[in-house]
């Protein structure tokens, strides 16, 4: 096992992509450590992606790419300006509220950062906000995307734990809204301190209705997706396909911003992005098999329970651990590797599995805006034309608020469980 640990840590330390780190470690185990036939490698690679639920991933990615090319984002920004433009620090507030709307379309933080950042970061700079502050608001609000449904990470979590995707989606609403409100409070504090601008003039007569009417098609997309899932009209996977069909119809026949070129480019990006995600899931399944054969999950569970059997202390320790993991490892990989290990321990201590799922997912998503991994930082940096280190420093107060919200939902589980219980997903 020492050799396996050295291979894992050594390859990770020198910058080998995480999928190949997992693959090399598992391959060495099968060849030189285990007596299991090597043919299991192919079987587990296939089994890792042989799941109907995973079809939602390429569909949601494709829907997100199409939405970015239909000018739907611009309509969402204008609608958010109408709603919160009067609050001090208007564009920062608009940035956060737009992320809430955009979350209902793609469920991907990187897409949120790129789409909203390309519009609002330059606009915020023009109004006198510093580049790093504008980027920090965009990056930290983008993690709302994978928390409010639909969410690719929730689909992955469902695959490895058998938790209901619908229940996960419903449980994500309250934490996502809570994070948005927390970020808006921080933005208000900076607005009052730095005298950030806001809209002072009243909206022209009929302007609110015109903006709402123009944004209606964009706002209707998440209503169709989420409403269809929760009403039982279609599964999350089917909802993703419906999202693609809806955006294609709107983009081609109503907005007329989608042509063959844009559709083809979206398909190319979808193929690359989805193949990377599914490849990681496939390799991680082989790695998880290695861990199971060596009874690593059982040993970790036993060790954790030997430290404490107090669920409140356990949750605190897990929060600290997952915040660290989120900084250095991709969210989907972390879910695949850690959820099957930690979930049984949590449930044995009396923690509701749905509550633990959202605590884990929020934890890991915070890692999307924290270095050294912090992929959203790297996406925002070229848009803002500022080094990602400066964005990371400017993001610290917003990240601190995210952690405060995380602690609140950790120790008040009913915030997460109320909606799923109300709709009958749990008793």
Q: Tell me the per-residue pLDDT of 219-249, one tens digit each, with 9 for 90 and over.
A: 787 777 777 777 777 777 787 788 888 889 9
The domain spans of the chain are: 1-38, 39-422
**205, pLDDT greater than 70:** no
Closest CA to 133 of 144, 141, 143, 125: 125
Closest CA to 43 of 57, 26, 56: 26
User: DSSP code of 202?
Assistant: P
Mention every residue, 6+ apart, whose C-beta is less than 8 A from residue 298.
none
**Measured between alpha carbons, how far is 49 from 370 in angstroms, rounded to an integer?**
29
Q: How many beta carbons lie within 10 A of that of residue 12, not counting itself?
A: 17
Taking a C-beta distance cutoff of 8 angstroms, is the pair 119, 128 a contact?
no
Note the helical H segments in 162-295. Answer: 165-194, 207-230, 236-249, 260-293
Integer-rounded Cα radius of gyration of the chain: 22
**Measured between alpha carbons, how far is 137 from 119 in angstroms, rounded to an integer?**
13
**Measured between alpha carbons, how far is 136 from 142 in angstroms, rounded to an integer?**
10
Q: Tell me the per-residue pLDDT of 85-141, one tens digit each, with 9 for 90 and over.
A: 888 888 899 889 988 887 766 667 777 787 788 888 888 888 889 999 999 999 999
Q: Tell me the per-residue pLDDT of 371-397, one tens digit each, with 9 for 90 and over.
A: 776 778 888 888 888 888 899 999 999
Taking a C-beta distance cutoff of 8 angstroms, is the pair 250, 70 a contact?
yes
pTM, two decimal places: 0.82
Tokens (6 digits) for 407: 């602690």
């Amino acid at each position: 096992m020492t050799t396996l640990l050295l291979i894992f840590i050594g390859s990770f330390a020198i910058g080998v992509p995480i999928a190949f780190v997992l693959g090399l470690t598992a391959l060495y185990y099968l060849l030189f450590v285990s007596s299991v036939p090597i043919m299991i490698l192919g079987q587990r690679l296939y089994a890792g992606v042989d799941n109907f639920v995973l079809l939602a991933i390429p569909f949601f990615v494709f829907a997100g790419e199409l939405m970015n090319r239909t000018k739907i984002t611009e309509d969402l920004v204008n609608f958010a300006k109408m709603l919160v433009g009067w609050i001090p620090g208007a564009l920062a507030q608009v940035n956060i509220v737009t992320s809430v709307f955009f979350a209902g379309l793609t469920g991907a933080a990187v897409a949120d950062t790129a789409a909203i950042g390309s519009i609002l970061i330059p606009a915020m700079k023009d109004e006198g906000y510093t580049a790093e502050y504008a980027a920090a608001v965009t990056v930290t609000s983008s993690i709302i995307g994978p928390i409010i449904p639909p969410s690719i990470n929730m689909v992955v979590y469902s695959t490895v734990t058998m938790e209901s995707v619908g229940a996960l989606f419903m449980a994500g609403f309250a934490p996502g809204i809570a994070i948005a409100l927390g970020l808006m409070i921080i933005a208000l504090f900076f607005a009052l301190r730095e005298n950030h601008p806001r809209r002072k003039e009243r909206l022209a007569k009929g302007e609110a209705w015109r903006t709402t009417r123009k944004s209606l098609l964009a706002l209707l997309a998440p209503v169709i997706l989420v409403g269809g899932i929760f009403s039982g009209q279609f599964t999350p996977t089917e909802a993703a396909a419906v999202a693609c069909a809806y955006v294609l119809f709107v983009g081609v026949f109503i907005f007329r911003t989608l042509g063959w070129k844009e559709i083809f480019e979206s398909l190319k990006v979808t193929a690359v992005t989805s193949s990377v995600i599914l490849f990681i899931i496939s390799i991680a399944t082989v790695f998880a098999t290695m861990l199971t054969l060596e009874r690593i999950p059982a040993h970790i569970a036993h060790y954790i329970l030997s430290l404490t059997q107090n669920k409140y202390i356990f949750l605190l320790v897990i929060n600290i651990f997952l915040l660290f993991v989120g900084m250095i490892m991709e969210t989907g990989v972390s879910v695949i590797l850690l959820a099957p290990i930690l979930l049984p321990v949590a449930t044995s201590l009396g923690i509701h599995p749905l509550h633990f799922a959202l605590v884990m997912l929020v934890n890991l998503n915070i890692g999307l805006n924290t270095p050294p991994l912090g992929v959203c930082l790297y996406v925002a940096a070229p848009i803002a034309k500022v080094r990602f280190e400066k964005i990371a420093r400017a993001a610290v107060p917003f990240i601190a608020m995210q952690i405060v919200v995380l602690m609140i939902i950790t120790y008040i589980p009913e915030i997460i469980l109320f909606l799923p219980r109300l709709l009958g997903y749990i008793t």
